[in-house]
Amino acid sequence: MGLPDMARPAEPSSESRLTYTDGSSRTVYATDVEKPFPEGRLIVSRTDLNGIITHANDAFVEMSGWAREELIGAPHHILRHPDMPKIAFKGLWDDIAAGKKWHGYVKNLRKDGAFYWVYATAVPNIRNGVIVGYTSVRRKPSRTRINELVPVYAQWLAEEKAAS
Ligand SMILES: Cc1cc2nc3c(=O)[nH]c(=O)nc-3n(C[C@H](O)[C@H](O)[C@H](O)COP(=O)(O)O)c2cc1C
**pLDDT tens per residue, range 7-55:** 999 999 999 999 999 999 999 999 999 999 999 999 999 999 999 999 9
Does residue 21 sit within a domain? no
Residue 155 structural domain: 56-163
Could you tell me if the CB of 63 is within 6 A of ligand 1? no
Q: pLDDT (tens digit, 9 = 90+) per residue, 82-119? A: 999 999 999 999 999 999 999 999 999 999 999 999 99
* Entry pTM: 0.97
Does residue 51 sit within a domain? no
- Residue 1: the pLDDT is 63
- Residue 74: the pLDDT is 98
Could you tell me if the CB of 64 is within 6 A of ligand 1? no
CATH number, domain of 64, equals 3.30.450.20
- The whole-number average pLDDT for the span 57-61 is 98
- Residue 2: the pLDDT is 85
Does residue 25 sit within a domain? no
Does residue 40 sit within a domain? no
Residue nearest (by alpha carbon) to ligand 1 atom 18: 77
Does residue 6 sit within a domain? no
Does residue 46 sit within a domain? no
Does residue 18 sit within a domain? no
Does residue 157 sit within a domain? yes
Determine the distance separating the centroid of ligand 1 and the alpha carbon of 102, expressed in angstroms: 12
Strand residues in the chain grouped as ranges (E): 14-19, 25-30, 43-47, 53-56, 102-109, 115-127, 130-139
- The whole-number average pLDDT for the span 140-155 is 98
63: nearest Cα among 138, 144, 143, 150: 138
> Candidates 19, 76, 90, 121: which one to mutate for ligand 1, based on the most atoms within 8 Å of Cβ?
76
Reported as a pLDDT band with limits 50, 70 and 90, residue 164 is confident
Q: In total, how many domains does the chain have?
A: 1
Q: How many CB atoms lie within 10 A of CB 154?
A: 12
